[in-house]
Amino acid sequence: MPAASTTLRMLAVSVIASLTVTGCQTFEDAGVAMGRSELVNDLATRLDRALESTYSADYQLPGGQRAAIVQAQDPARSAYTYPGGRLTVTPDAVTRCTTSGARPRCTLTTPPTPTGKPTVTLFREANQQGLVTPPVVVGMLTAAALDPQAVIRQSDTTVAGHHASCVEVQSGSGDFTACVTTEGVLGSFTGPVDGKPVELALSDYSTTVDEKAFDPPVDAGVVDRRPGGS
């Protein structure tokens, strides 16, 4: 597997690993946990599969705002566009752009490596601006599965013309609903993320991408903080 694809997978895997717990369980407890794990793994597998796919997904946010996720391969790249900014992850750099000012400003940093420990903090700005990313959703589902007090219900729906499986979670840490399409794309999400209410729904999906989605805006001011950068 190419290193870049492994890097993107690590973003999701590290979330799950950070939520792993150890301890003793009765056979009854283990059975409950297994049922929840199967449910989480089904949705997590779909989201993970999207890391090896090429697609563009547009999302509708409250107030008429919009967001987007673009994924491409050879090499593996991902771009997350949200109100006021953009996050791009490529084999060469993690690029964070602020687009709310008169002129876009972007900062390039070293991308996470397969042996590193990328965390959900990479997506914090996107979360705060209303775009919850697939690795964050995987982490929330995993946390709910490990919560013995959580109530998890599953249902099916259609989002933007695509079939999706949905999970409604009620737990002490916050209630949320997440839907994942058959293609492995995040179909919709409603609930608190980092203490802020988030609501989004897939409005358009395509298996083609605009290569410019992975580049900083043409007129952006760029600061390169990578070793040897300027």
pLDDT of residue 24: 30
0.85 exceeded by the pTM? no
pLDDT of residue 181: 95
pLDDT of residue 175: 93
User: Where are the chain's structural domains?
Assistant: 3-224
Q: Is 202 exposed, middle or buried (0-12, 13-18, 19+ CB in 10 A)?
A: buried
pLDDT of residue 134: 86
Looking at domain 3-224, does it have CATH number 2.50.20.10?
Answer: yes
pLDDT of residue 152: 85
Amino acid at 17: A
For the chain, which ranges sit under pLDDT 50? 2-34, 115-118
